[in-house]
Amino acid sequence: MKKLIKIVGILLLVAIVGAGSFAAYIYSHIPSEQQIKGCVVTTMYQVNLCPGSKDYVPLKQISSLLQKTVILTEDSSFYEHNGFDWKSIEENARKNYEKGTYAKGGSTISQQLAKNMFLYKDKTLLRKGLELVITMKIEKTLSKKEILERYLNVVEFGKDIYGVKQAAHFYFKKTPAQLDVVESAFLAMILPNPVKYSQSYFRKELTPFAHKRIKQIVTDMYQYSRITEDEYNTAMYKVDSFFSPGGGSMDAYLQEIENSGQNVDGNNSPQTTDMPTLDELENLGSEEDSGF
């Protein structure tokens, strides 16, 4: 009996020490309010922007169309939740269980910002714990508009293309304020897998997947009253003649990716929410990224 009590005591001590160590690790890696409010310095990528600097774009200088499109495609309940879309998480967990896979993460914009700014891409329970705590602190420290502004300034829109300012200039030779409906839909389409889904730019035409996906986004924008009927009709016509900007050859682009050690399927792309499931797109062989 004494031996059993001793064993139980040792196990309890180990559990307490382990829990304490875990809590201490989490606490030591939580950013301060000053870090959250200060310059946008990402852990995952070499992005260092300070609000007010020439490369940082205030939300008021970013097309409202892009803002609406990104929220609709990435986090439709952005302004309603406190950092976590539990309904989406539950739905994705159910689908993953039914399919026997782990393909959907249900990350909100707030969670994505936490990951892009303060975390690495390792898929561990410890990182998920940190993500949970940091997301809650971001939600308490920043307003929704500040969260969206920072997100759009750091998120990846293609290989080595970070933030809306670089994306608008690279793909369209425009400022973020000048982006129209289709251009906004194209950038939103890229987010789940920036390397793979930006290929249309280098092909000089939309891939079948990109064409269908952008049309679906434009349709959703109209159905959810984010754009007018005239904007919808104009955009749907424009999609059929997209993509016209200049760019390098596809072979050169793929070679560049290979030389950098990055997988064309986007395995090294940042953590973003997976795109909505569309049966018609699945037939085209679209692959959804892991969102652990």
d(CA 117, CA 178): 27
Q: What is the DSSP letter of 95?
A: H
Q: Is the pLDDT of residue 58 over 80?
A: yes
Mean of the per-residue pLDDT values for the chain? 78
Q: Is the pLDDT of residue 246 over 50?
A: no
Domain layout of the chain by residue ranges: 37-71+87-282
Q: Is the pLDDT of residue 266 over 70?
A: no
Q: What is the largest CA-CA distance in the chain?
A: 81
d(CA 154, CA 164): 8
Beta bridge partners of 156: 162
Kindly give, in sequence order, each residue whose CB lies less than 8 Å from that of residue 250, ignoring residues fewer than 6 positions away: 199, 202, 203
- The H or E element that residue 65 is part of is helix 64-74
Q: Is the pLDDT of residue 274 over 70?
A: no
Burial (CB count within 10 angstroms: exposed 0-12, middle 13-18, buried 19+), residue 44: middle
Q: Is the pLDDT of residue 218 over 70?
A: yes
CATH number of 37-71+87-282: 1.10.3810.10
d(CA 40, CA 155): 11
Residues in the chain: 292
**Number of C-alpha atoms within 13 angstroms, CB side, residue 145?**
7
Q: What is the pLDDT of residues 115-124, one digit of tens each?
A: 988 887 767 7
pLDDT band with cut points at 50, 70 and 90 for residue 125: confident
Cite the beta strand spans of 15-130 per DSSP E. 40-41, 48-49
Please give the model's pTM, rounded to 2 decimal places: 0.73
